């Protein structure tokens, strides 16, 4: 999945108005994303079989996930539905 496709999915998520719709969306796509929170940046990468530490830094990495989601446009709802306790930095 390319960056453009990820951005499109996030835009679709941000248009959803109800928790039920968001939950269904996450259930459909949650196997695609690997979301990592750290103290410098939030990023997401595409899940891949046999992903190792070296691949993780170079394959499908979307540095600054907030560039795609936007801190004020649903990212915290998305993280909450994924079971991630997140705060803005």
Q: What is the pLDDT of residue 1?
A: 59
pTM greater than the 0.75 cutoff: no
Q: Is residue 41 part of a domain?
A: yes
Q: Could you give the 3-state DSSP secondary structure of residue 78?
A: helix
Per-residue pLDDT 10s for the chain (89 aa) are: 566 777 787 788 778 887 778 777 777 776 666 555 544 444 444 454 444 554 444 334 434 444 445 445 466 666 666 666 666 55
Is residue 19, in this structure, part of any structural domain at all? yes
Whether residue 89 lies inside any domain: the answer is no
Where are the alpha helices (H) located in 1-89, listed in sequence order? 3-15, 19-29, 53-58, 66-69, 75-82
- CA distances (Å), origin 87, targets 20, 33, 55, 69: 22, 19, 27, 14
Q: Are 50 and 41 in contact (CB under 8 A)?
A: no
- pLDDT at position 24 is 78
Q: What range does the domain containing 54 cover?
A: 3-82
Could you give the number of structural domains in the chain?
Answer: 1
Identify whether 62 is part of a domain: yes
């Amino acid at each position: 999945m390319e960056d453009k496709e990820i951005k499109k999915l996030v835009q679709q998520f941000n248009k959803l108005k109800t928790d039920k719709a968001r939950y269904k969306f996450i259930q459909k796509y949650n196997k695609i994303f690997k979301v990592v929170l750290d103290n410098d940046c939030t990023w997401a990468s595409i899940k891949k079989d046999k992903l190792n530490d070296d691949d993780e830094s170079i394959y499908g990495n979307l540095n600054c996930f907030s560039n795609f989601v936007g801190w004020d446009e649903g990212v915290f709802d998305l993280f909450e539905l994924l079971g991630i306790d997140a705060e803005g930095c």
